[in-house]
Structures are given as structure tokens and as C-alpha cells.
Structure 1
Amino acid sequence: MHMMLMADEKRLCKRFFHFRIAACARAHLLRRSVCAGFLTFLIAAVFCLSLFSAAPVKADDKVLRVLAWPGYADADVVNHFEARYKARVEVTLVDSDEALWAQMHAKGTPPFDVLAANTAEIQRYTEANLLAPLDLARLPNTRKQLPRFQALASIGGLTSGGKAYAIPFTYSSMGLIYDRKQVAVAPRTMRELWNPRYRGKVLDFNSAQHNFSFTALALGYPHPFQLDPTEMRTIAHKLVDLRRNLLTYYTLPEEATAFFIQHKVALMFGNYGTQQVELLRRAGADVGYVIPDEGALAWLDCWSMTRAAADPPLALAWINYMLEPDVSALLTQRQGLANTLTAPVESSDSARIVWIGPVENIQRREDLWARIVSGDRSERF
């Protein structure tokens, strides 16, 4: 009985420790938001004043509604497009595949005209009849892309019934980022995230799909996107175990950078890959980046036009504009991401890259992930 009580106490302590860390992380974000509050107020005030001074928008003005990830549609890029095509662009940013899907299904909001999504999501959206086939003749800049990205039929999820539904835009592996000062030798496997020496010094991306997939790779499962119930249960237990090492979960790359530096994180699952490495190095962190021996997930984000597009020619003009050399180059210069027009200076080991694909049951993964993040006990899975 004494031993059982001690075991219960240990579990309670661990759980308290986990949620205490999460609370500290949320407090840190709150402090950041308070400090930024005054600046946000000033920006909002200037923006409101600009609305009064700007010329009124006419009822017949062209409007393009864009759904994208941070860094894909910066203000200067948007302004140049607006001036060239005499149109107004409204950009909505997302921080996860789940948020992207939710935005596309939000009620009471105008539909989006174009969106940026990875190949697995493109296939999902095409099957849901949310995307329109693309007229490649209206996209001449695709001829400037590297040959591997011009061969759309060879990339899973981009074509259906002989028609193209997406154009590649940018990509990155999702490897392991580590602090060189705390990790002297580059880690060889994602399994290092579970190493007890890194207790409280690990960051993980808050995503059901990717966590189950990269853990499947780490465990040696041959089909990380098509898991059977037994494999799902094993992985769920493994992800519960990972909580012992976690500082917290993150969503945006900037958020991860702040956590990494302030809390002296040792290891991080790099969902944004080289984009995060670039942000960390600019912030002064001495980090390394590796593709694990078991392979790393990799995403290829593409531009697509929705079936709800109000002005298809304008939507196609946006996709073509995104492939102009100067615009694509900004991805590399500002975000540290590869573009589809020029070969990356530091090429990844393509033999160990696993392009993400559609998963066996999205809802099942999300339900399990919600329980994992909430602190549910391992024995309940």
C-alpha cells in the first residue's frame, strides 16, 4: 500500500509539473501581449486614420480574398499586386492545417478565392470539391519552376482526373532543431525528444496529424500516414510519455523562437523546418538542424483557387504573381524557406525526406491529440 501511494504521488507531481510549465508558458505569452499592447494600439490608431484619409472603396472594385500562412503574403508583396491589378487584397493568416480547414468552413464570412496548403490538404480539399481546376495557360510563370515542380502529375495530390488543382510554391523538411551548447553531438533520431536528460527542455508543435506521423517514423512504422488501431494506441502512449520532457507546445514559429531562447530549450520538433532555423539564428541562438536517420516529414505548400472564387482571372493572376522570381526569392531571403524556382544552397538528404500524405482518419487523430494535450493518463488510451 505504501508503494502504491508513492506511485500515485509521483504521478500527481508529474502532472502538476506539466501543467505548471504550461501555465508559465501562457503567462509568458500574456506578458508579451501586454508589452506589445501599446504598440498595437498605436498601429491600430494609425490604421484607422488611414481609413479616413484613403479613397473610398467603390462597389465595383475587385477584391481578392487570400488564405495563407505567415510570410507568404507580406504587406509590400500585396501592395505591389494591388497596384498592378487595381484590386484590393484581403489576407487571412492561419497557424495550422486545422485552422485552415476551419476558415474554409466558417459560416457568415465571405468565401476565399485562393489558398495556400500542403499537398495532403490539397488532396483533401479537392476530394471535398472545394477547389477549381487551374488553367495552366494562364500561369506562364510555372515554366520558370524547377523541372521537378513542373511535373505536377508526379507529385501526389496535385492532379485529379487529368486536371491540375494546385501549383507548388515552397517547401521544407520538418527535422530536429537543437541547441549546440546543450547538445554537443548532433542527434541522430527523433527518439532523442524522449531522452530523460532533456526533461522540461523540449518544444513540440501542436498538431495531431504531424505528431502521430513523426512518432510513427521514429518507431519504425512503414506507413506513417496509414496507421492501424494498434499502432495508433502505441503512438498515443508514446506521445503521453513525451509530456514529461515538454516545456510546452507551440503553433507559430515566432512563438517557438521566444520559448526556445527565454527558456533555454534543448530540442524542438521543427514543424516549419528551415524557416524556424533562420528565425532562431537571427535572434542569436546557436542552433543546429538535422534530418533524423529514420527520415523526416516534409511539406510542399501550393497555391490553389477555390470553387467559390468570385474573379477566377484575378485569382489566377495572384498564383502566377507568386511565382515571379522577385516574389519567390523573398521566401528564401525573409523566411529561410526554399522556393520552387531556384535550387536550395544547402540541399537536404532527399533519400530521408517523407512528403506528408493524407492520413487514415483525421478526426480520430484530432480526438486522441486533444486528450493527450489536455493531460489524459496513458492507461486511459
Structure 2
Amino acid sequence: MKTLNQLGAVLFIIVQLTQAVWAADDVLRIIAWHGYADADWVAEFERDHDVRIEVSFVESDDELWEKLSKNHGADYDVFAANTAELQRYISHDIAAPIKINKISNIKNQLPRFRETEKIAGLVHNGNLYGIPFTYSEMGLIYDSKQFKTAPTSMSALWQPENKGKIILYDGSNHNFSLAALLLEFSNPFQLSNDEMSKTVKKLLQLRSQNPMFYTGPEESIRMFLKHKAALMFANYGQQQLKQLQKTNSDIAYIIPKEGALAWLDCWGITVAAKNKSLAEQWINFTLEKNISAALSRRQGLPNTLLAGHLKEDDKIIWLEPSEDFALRSQYWERLRAGKARRQNNTSQ
């Protein structure tokens, strides 16, 4: 009897140790934008897969890079990045190839998103590195009451009559590309030295506009309402539009005549992912019809399963990798350190 009791005790210890190891291994670490891993989705996935999820949210491409480049992405398993940013994670061996046959719900996507080889930035050396999840163009939101005639161009941000009433996204890459579009450069993502110099000068002109800056969509809404802004560069596009509409604000939205930059956010898996199979299951889970529909309903963002809001004649410029991300970031830090201000505390 004593032997049996001892054996039982040993078995109990083994089971406890095994469960501890299992629990440690079955943790999925996600880093993404707000709205991409809602609490109820996380709870459902944890329940169905008997795992635990740790979610970290970011509010800018710069912040995402800072976190993922540290320790070669070893702190995370799954991340969300747009196609242009994805190139950095591939070239720095942070992103791992994804086995498309493991993501069965791709069959639910629209053809343009299933044909991944036709989307710049997703395939490298024959390997797929990103699964499209959501997208949005970066249009212009304006207060209808402050305009007799609706603006048609992003150049309205530079107009003196809008001084002190404009809101910009606090991110280096997109602002350089936006200014380059206005300057009608052939490729706003690959600027020559001369084009870069002219783009810097264009952005410098915004200092006299005394703009406000935001990072997250919720922050931008608070800022727009509190300061009675006239114009906002909508980095989150339809997401911001939907949130402002809920406030019954008299606002409108345009795709400017120069065209709108547009991002396509994709799920990626890190090279250091502890459980790539679990990461693949999460990506597949987000492509289920009810999850993608919830994304659009809650965030106002188009999903890759249903036709979006874009018109046939809307000019969309999909994001591409920039010529020198670090240089753009360095320049931007200097540019916004002038008269431009950041409203960190919108309650004051």
C-alpha cells in the first residue's frame, strides 16, 4: 500500500510538472493595433484552444518597430503590420514564412486578397510572410460648418485660414509620403536626395500652421471635438470617420484629388515564435466571418472578406517600403520639435 501511495505521489508530481510546462508553452503573445484582438475574441480563442493569450497594443509603426526589433522579436509570436512595414521585419529576419495551407479561412477572402503574389510586400523569395486582415485609405476629415466649399485636396492642411485648426498623424513615414504626393513626385515612397530636401521644406511649412498631433484613433476624436478642428489627416480612415459620426458631428470625408495613401494590415509570425501552429490558428481564427464582420462593425475598418466602400474612380496609392525609414524618422523628430505641438492631455 505504501508503494502504491508513493507511486501515486510521484505520478501526481509528474502530472503537475507536465501541466506547468504545458501551460508555459501554450501562451500566445500578440502585438497589434487596438481593435485587432478584442477581449471577447481573445476569451473565445483561449477557451476553444485551452491556451492563454497575452496582447500588447501599439499606436504607431515606430513603436511597433521598437518593440519587435528588440531581441529579434523574441517577446512576441504574432504581429500585425502593413505591407510596407513588413519588409523591414523580413529583411531583419524577424518575420517567418507562413504556410498558406495552414490558414484554411483564406478561402473566405475576396480574390484580390487571396492572390497574395499580386500584393507587393507579401512574398519574398517565393515565401509568404503576411496574411491580409484589414485595410484603409488615409483620407481627409473636415468640419462641414467651417467650409463654404468642401476641400478637394490635402493641400488644405497648408492653407493659412486653417492655422491652429489642423490635426496630423504623429508618424514619420506617412507624412513624408503625403507631402511627396502633393509635390507630384513619381514615387512618394522612394525619394531622391533632391526630392527629400523639397519634401522636408514642404513639411517645414506646416510649422506655421501650429498643428496638433495624435497617434491613436480615440485620441484623434477627442482632440477633434475639444479643439473644434477644421481638418484632420485621417491615418485610420474609415475607423475615425465612424467614431466621429457616432458623436453626431457635422463632418465629412474625402479622398483627395492627389490620391489617398492606403495601408493593408497583415498578420505575421515572428521567427522566434514559441508555437507557430498556435500562431497560425489565431490568424485563421481572425478570418472567420463573424470575427471579420465584428472588426468592421466595431472599428469601421473594411475587412478582407466583404466588398468595401471605395468607389471605382477613387485614386488609392498602396503603401510601399520607403527609401530610408530611419532617415525619415530622424527628420520627423526634428520637424515636429518646432512650433508643432502634441496634445498629450486633451482634458486640459
Pairing of 1:106-145 with structure 2 (within 5 A): 106-107=70-71, 111-145=75-109
Which of 109, 112, 136 aligns to 1:172? It is 136
CA distance in structure 1 between the partners assigned to 2:72 and 2:130 by the alignment? 26
Does residue 296 of structure 2 align to residue 332 of structure 1?
A: yes
- The answer for the alignment partner of 1:65 in structure 2 is 29
- The answer for the alignment partner of 2:43 in structure 1 is 79
Give the aligned residue type for 1:239. Answer: L
Give the aligned residue type for 1:159. Answer: V
CA distance in structure 2 between the partners assigned to 1:371 and 1:136 by the alignment? 42
- The answer for the alignment partner of 2:227 in structure 1 is 263
Give the aligned residue type for 1:60. Answer: W
Does residue 129 of structure 2 align to residue 161 of structure 1?
A: no
CA distance in structure 2 between the partners assigned to 1:224 and 1:364 by the alignment? 15
Does residue 288 of structure 2 align to residue 321 of structure 1?
A: no
Tell me, what secondary structure is at the counterpart of 1:181?
helix
Give the aligned residue type for 1:153. Answer: E
- The answer for the alignment partner of 1:357 in structure 2 is 320
Does residue 323 of structure 2 align to residue 367 of structure 1?
A: no
Give the aligned residue type for 2:212. Answer: T
Displacement of 1:347 after TM fit? 2.2
- The answer for the alignment partner of 1:236 in structure 2 is 200
Displacement of 1:348 after TM fit? 3.8
Displacement of 1:184 after TM fit? 3.1
CA distance in structure 2 between the partners assigned to 1:312 and 1:183 by the alignment? 52
CA distance in structure 1 between the partners assigned to 2:21 and 2:249 by the alignment? 49
Contact 1:214 1:297 in 2 (8 A): yes
Displacement of 1:366 after TM fit? 1.0
Contact 2:217 2:240 in 1 (8 A): yes
Aligned residues: 320
Contact 1:203 1:246 in 2 (8 A): no
Contact 1:178 1:268 in 2 (8 A): yes
Superposed CA offset, 1:99-118 (max 9, x none): 00111123599521010000
Displacement of 1:282 after TM fit? 1.1
- The answer for the alignment partner of 2:262 in structure 1 is 298
Contact 2:69 2:94 in 1 (8 A): no
Tell me, what secondary structure is at the counterpart of 1:339?
coil
Q: 1:216 to 1:108 in 2, by over 3 A?
A: closer
CA distance in structure 2 between the partners assigned to 1:216 and 1:358 by the alignment? 14
Does residue 250 of structure 2 align to residue 286 of structure 1?
A: yes
Give the aligned residue type for 2:315. Answer: R
Displacement of 1:350 after TM fit? 5.8
- The answer for the alignment partner of 1:51 in structure 2 is none
Displacement of 1:246 after TM fit? 3.2
CA-based RMSD of the aligned residues comes to 1.7
Identity of aligned residues (%): 46
CA distance in structure 1 between the partners assigned to 2:84 and 2:129 by the alignment? 12
Displacement of 1:146 after TM fit? 0.2
CA distance in structure 2 between the partners assigned to 1:349 and 1:100 by the alignment? 33
CA distance in structure 2 between the partners assigned to 1:141 and 1:373 by the alignment? 43
Displacement of 1:162 after TM fit? 1.4
Superposed CA offset, 1:249-291 (max 9, x none): 1111111101100110000111001101011111222211111
CA distance in structure 2 between the partners assigned to 1:283 and 1:179 by the alignment? 13
CA distance in structure 2 between the partners assigned to 1:280 and 1:58 by the alignment? 47
Give the aligned residue type for 1:256. Answer: S
- The answer for the alignment partner of 1:96 in structure 2 is 60
CA distance in structure 2 between the partners assigned to 1:295 and 1:108 by the alignment? 36
Give the aligned residue type for 1:260. Answer: F
Displacement of 1:324 after TM fit? 0.3
- The answer for the alignment partner of 2:172 in structure 1 is 208
Superposed CA offset, 1:27-70 (max 9, x none): xxxxxxxxxxxxxxxxxxxxxxxxxxxxxx94421100001001
Q: 1:124 to 1:153 in 2, by over 3 A?
A: same
CA distance in structure 2 between the partners assigned to 1:236 and 1:219 by the alignment? 11
CA distance in structure 1 between the partners assigned to 2:32 and 2:239 by the alignment? 15
Which of 143, 146, 149 aligns to 1:182? It is 146
Q: Which runs of 5+ in 2 are unaligned?
A: 1-18, 341-348
- The answer for the alignment partner of 2:345 in structure 1 is none
CA distance in structure 1 between the partners assigned to 2:321 and 2:208 by the alignment? 29
Pairing of 1:23-34 with structure 2 (within 5 A): none
Give the aligned residue type for 2:260. Answer: A
Displacement of 1:351 after TM fit? 4.9
Contact 2:210 2:339 in 1 (8 A): no
CA distance in structure 1 between the partners assigned to 2:38 and 2:79 by the alignment? 15
Tell me, what secondary structure is at the counterpart of 2:70?
coil
Contact 1:180 1:286 in 2 (8 A): yes
Contact 2:28 2:77 in 1 (8 A): yes
